[in-house]
Amino acid sequence: MQDQDFAIIQRVIGGEKKAYAELVDRHKEKAMTLAFKMLKNREDAEEALQDAFIRAFNALPRFEWKSSFSTWFYRIVFNVCASALSKRGNDHPVSFQANDEEETALEVASQEPLPDIALESSELSTIVFEEIEKLPEAYGPTFTLFFVQDMTYEEIVQVTGLPLGTVKTRLFRARALLRDAVVKRIGSSQEGTRQEKVA
């Protein structure tokens, strides 16, 4: 992946500017997912993504390969989306800034017992995807970068500029919330099925 990015970037810097379209095609989908997760609006996300690609193109000659292209590029996407959010003002108050987040809840074992679930079922996937959408906005980008972009904690730190501890805490809290929400959904769904059978 990185080798291919490197080869394309070398071509672009070498004068074959049109090769940049290949780079756009390679990263547009995952970057769009991140932008959409932050802005919650398709048009705004697409506009922000276009801006990010143009900024990246202009900054490409100064890119020093201290990180992978994707990490560097997602940082641009993140910043463009964050400034788009700040322009929205108070209508969409979302803070991606670091704050003192409690970790105590994560220091205890989960109290809610696991229901009897059919793992890998498509129903489970649907429930998980729906519950991911319901996660608090501040957790969305971290969660997406970790699972969709497949980034490490350290790469997420580079993209978001958040401290490592905050990244870990947000990720753990998001996953704990997701776990509880999915367990609750499956539990209520099974309860409903049981009642139907009794009736």
Partner 1 sequence: MIHLTTKQVLQFVDGTLDYASQAQCTNHLAVCAQCRSEVEFQKTLAKVSRRQPTVQPSGQFASRVMGRVFPQKRKTVASTILDNLGNVFAMFVVLTVVGYAIANPSLFTPQDRPAQPSVLSQTIAATYGKIVQSFAERTKDATQTVVSTSTNDSSRVISMTIMTLLILIVLDQFVLKRYTGMKMKH
Which residues are at the interface with partner 1 (CB under 8 A)? Answer: 15, 17-18, 20-21, 24-25, 28-30, 32-33, 35-36, 42, 45-46, 49-50, 53-54, 57, 103, 105-110, 113-114, 117, 119-120, 124-125, 128-129, 132, 143, 147-148, 150, 153, 171-172, 175-176, 178-179, 182
* C-alpha dist (Å) from residue 30 to 74, 94, 141, 147: 9, 21, 12, 11
Q: How far is the CB of 170 from partner 1 (least distance, A)?
A: 12
Complex with partner 1: residue 15 or 61, whichever CB lies closer? 15
Toward partner 1, which CB reaches closer, 14 or 93? 14
Q: At its nearest, how many Å lie between partner 1 and the CB of residue 57?
A: 5
**Shortest spacing between CB 110 and partner 1, in angstroms:** 6
For the CB of residue 111, give the shortest distance to partner 1 in the complex, in Å.
10
C-alpha distances out from residue 8 to 3, 16, 151, Å: 9, 9, 21
CB of 181 to partner 1, least distance (A): 10
Distance in angstroms (rounded) separating the CA atoms of residues 199 and 192: 11
Quick one: 92 or 179, whose CB is closer to partner 1?
A: 179
Q: Which of 108, 199 has the CB closer to partner 1?
A: 108
Return the number of the residue (48 or 82) whose C-beta is nearest partner 1: 48
